[in-house]
A and B are shown apart, each in its own frame.
Chain A
Amino acid sequence: MPTLPSFLSAGERLYRNDYEWQTQLLRNELQALFAAYSSDNADKHSYSDRQHRTLLVPWMLPGALAAIMWKWLYHGSVGLINQMLLRMHIISAPIPWLASTQFVLISVVLVNVWRGAPFFMVMLFGGLQTIPNELYEAAMIDGAGSFTSFRNITIPLLKPLILTLSLYGFIGAFNFIDIILVLTKGGPAHHTLTLPLYVWQLAFVDMKISYATAVCVLMCLFLVVLLGIMMLFLKKRGGADE
């Protein structure tokens, strides 16, 4: 039986998790931007089919495997990232990426960006093909450089798609769990404990099923309100078409 105190303390927990939601937002922006840039480049530079295929690899492999892969890259002493940074003299001592409270969140976000970016790229790539080439030609004749035409043609025309994808990515990031579960299990010291992971732990580690469902209901309400606000915002901008 979910009691009122359980709801309340779950609410408090939710409130304390605001850092989580900030990073989700950050991840989202990064991902959308990154994908927009690369697919734009791809389109203009006779991007071959083979490249296109390779780019999709991270999206098609198991999330658990992505976590394992990155765990090995983040390895404290023999991980590729630390070794590269050491060799380039950017850092003087290896950073324990997944064990330090300072870096763990950004490390986990990076893995999720890595896994999610291809999907965004493909979507934006599809969107790019609907932009008529004449626009770019006209801009070029008027003396616009490639950055100017990216900024003034590509971005405005893709805006609806970018906004919809942002919403999609936000939801995906809010709900994602398998990578964190394998990578850090919420640690160190709860620094990567997102809401879904918290629910999972409550239900299947602590076996407090009713408490977990209470948190779930709250999370749902939170998500619905958040989505409602975002939808309204997008509609006002004349953006979302779905």
Chain B
Amino acid sequence: MSSTKMKRFFSSVGVNLLVVLALLFILTPVIWLFLTSIKTRSEMFQTPITLFPKTFDFGNYVKIWEKIQFGTFIKNSLIMSLYNTVVTLAIASMAAYSLSRYTFKGKDFFLRYLLVSQMFPAVLVLIPLFLMVKRIGLLGTFTGLEICYLTITIPFCTWALKNYFDKITPTIEESAMIDGCSFITSYIKIFLPVALPGLVSVGTYCFLSSWNEYLFTVVFMQTQDTWTLPVGLAALSGQFALDMGLLTAGGIISLVPAVIIMLFLQKYLLEGMLAGSVKE
């Protein structure tokens, strides 16, 4: 009897140890980034290193706005993320609605194509898009970049929204139309409010993926005042006279949207991700 108890005790210790190890692995880099950002410049590079800063120095968080165009980067990132969210939601929700409510020729092919197009590397579409955007003269503009972002976000979002819309019964719009609603009004006033949780979750995904986007921006935006946050930070990290304090402070600030989403919107985010993936 006692031996099984011992066994259970040890196995639960082992299991908890695994959880702690996983947490350590996941959180250490973020915590270290924060601790570095509040150290003074001399403390950062002294050996042996100190785990906790001796003096809390938040100077880096002030300096970053003055020394580099940090405000511009944030503004650009916000513009691109909101732009992308709005345009993607507008297009993907309508596409998903028609895929979910109507049958038409080639629908299966289209659905499968949406999935398959996700499997190809971003570099693959990067080169043709670069040539096209350059040809129509949108290189270096937000609209040109936005067109490229769409090729990544629309397939996934359409697919996710289609799965979500499938769960909503069509009787709601049908009864609205019987009561004299036009098709457009029933879509906008009746259907979209019902589908709001799905739209929020997919919108969150769009916002985050364009906030995090690096590859397209670094290729398409060649002047410094059009860079987004990741590109700006990466450029800073490649500089010869590397200022680790600025870099880590910038990194912590760029975490803010992720943290906000984690606190308030994560329920939706997970719902949307799980909607199409797990079959019961």
Contact = CB atoms under 8 A, between A and B. Distances in A.
Given A65-B254, A68-B247, A122 B270 contact: yes
A45 interface: yes
B47 A51 contact: no
Nearest to A197: B123
Interface in A52-98: 53-58, 60-73, 77-78, 80, 83, 87
Contacts of B244: 72
Interface of A: 34, 37-38, 41-42, 44-45, 47, 51, 53-58, 60-73, 77-78, 80, 83, 87, 114, 117-118, 122-123, 126-127, 130, 145-147, 161, 171, 174-175, 177-178, 181-182, 195-196, 199-200, 203-204, 209, 212-213, 216, 219-220, 223, 227, 241-242
Nearest to A77: B47
A178 B126 CA distance: 13
A94 to B, nearest CB: 9
A220 B124 CA distance: 8
User: Chain B's interface: helix, strand, loop or mixed, by majority?
Assistant: helix
Given A175-B121, A203-B127, A80 B237 contact: no
Contact of B123 (A37, A130, A196): A196
B266 A53 contact: yes
A198 B251 CA distance: 27
Given A57-B27, A83-B47, A147 B248 contact: no
Contacts of A61: 30, 212, 254-255, 258
A126 B277 CA distance: 9
A54 B255 CA distance: 12
Interface size class of B (residues with CB under 8 A): 35 or more
A219 B127 CA distance: 14
B221 to A, nearest CB: 13
Nearest to A128: B278
Contact of A45 (B16, B30, B44, B279): B16
Contacts of B150: none
User: Chain A's interface: helix, strand, loop or mixed, by majority?
Assistant: helix
B24 to A, nearest CB: 11
Given A130-B278, A145-B7, A200-B123, A68 B251 contact: yes
A78 B46 CA distance: 7
Contacts, number: 194
Contacts of B44: 78
B62 interface: no
Contacts of B45: 77-78
28 contacts: A41-B15, A45-B15, A51-B23, A54-B26, A54-B262, A57-B30, A57-B258, A60-B212, A60-B261, A62-B254, A63-B212, A64-B233, A65-B230, A65-B255, A66-B29, A72-B248, A77-B45, A80-B32, A123-B274, A126-B277, A146-B15, A171-B119, A175-B123, A182-B237, A200-B215, A203-B127, A209-B131, A242-B115
A38 B123 contact: no
Interface in B227-257: 229-231, 233-234, 237-238, 244, 247-248, 251, 254-255
B208 interface: yes
Given A51-B23, A118-B26, A130-B278, A68 B119 contact: no
B70 interface: no
B211 interface: yes
